[in-house]
Amino acid sequence: MNITSVAKEAARNLEKAFQRSIVVEADEEDIGMEGDAQKLKQVLFILLDNAIKYSSEPVNLSISRTASGVQLDIKDKGEGIPADEVDKVYDRFYRVDKSRTRETGGSGLGLPIAKRIVEAHHGKIKLSSVDGVGTTVTVYLRLIHISSSHVLLMCFFFSCNEMVGE
């Protein structure tokens, strides 16, 4: 699969859905890797959707090849997350600001699902944030062979339908 194409398609779909600008920058137009394109697109939907919800400015998505894989950076200039809350965002059902549940939607499952999908691809996800300045989520994916059955093994934390967005 071409991760650059997957990322650009995810950004286009969310730009249309939310009528918001997502600036996509890619070092290469064709960064091929093995993995489940639909699940990686779901990760991008989750991360871009969060960036759009918590920022009124354009969101930036950068795609670059590293020595051992691919790096995706999603950056917003929104509210940011307090330092003492950053480690908790991967806990299921955790919401940084509980009062926003009705305003922005969501259940606190997006980032935990994204993390599980990334880990099933032998990758890592890192979130850095400055309260009141913005947030950057970085996804590191290694260029290795991943079988779809391995990705499905990660479903034990969530129902498979929830993992694939059905």
**Alpha carbon distance 134, 80 (integer Å):** 4
User: What does each C-alpha distance from 135 to 71, 127, 138 come to in angstroms?
Assistant: 16, 7, 10
| pLDDT of res. 89 | 62
Q: Residue 114, Cβ neighbours under 10 Å: how many?
A: 23
Domains of the chain: 3-164 (3.30.565.10)
Q: State the sign of the Cα–Cα–Cα–Cα dihedral 53, 114, 32, 138.
A: positive
By DSSP bridging, strand 59-65 and strand 22-26 are parallel
Q: Residue 98, Cβ neighbours under 10 Å: how many?
A: 9
Per-residue pLDDT of the chain (166 residues; tens, 9 = 90+): 899 999 999 999 999 999 999 999 999 998 988 889 999 999 999 999 989 988 889 999 999 999 889 999 999 998 887 777 767 666 665 555 544 444 555 556 788 899 999 999 999 999 998 888 999 999 999 876 444 554 444 444 444 444 444 3
**Alpha carbon distance 111, 142 (integer Å):** 20
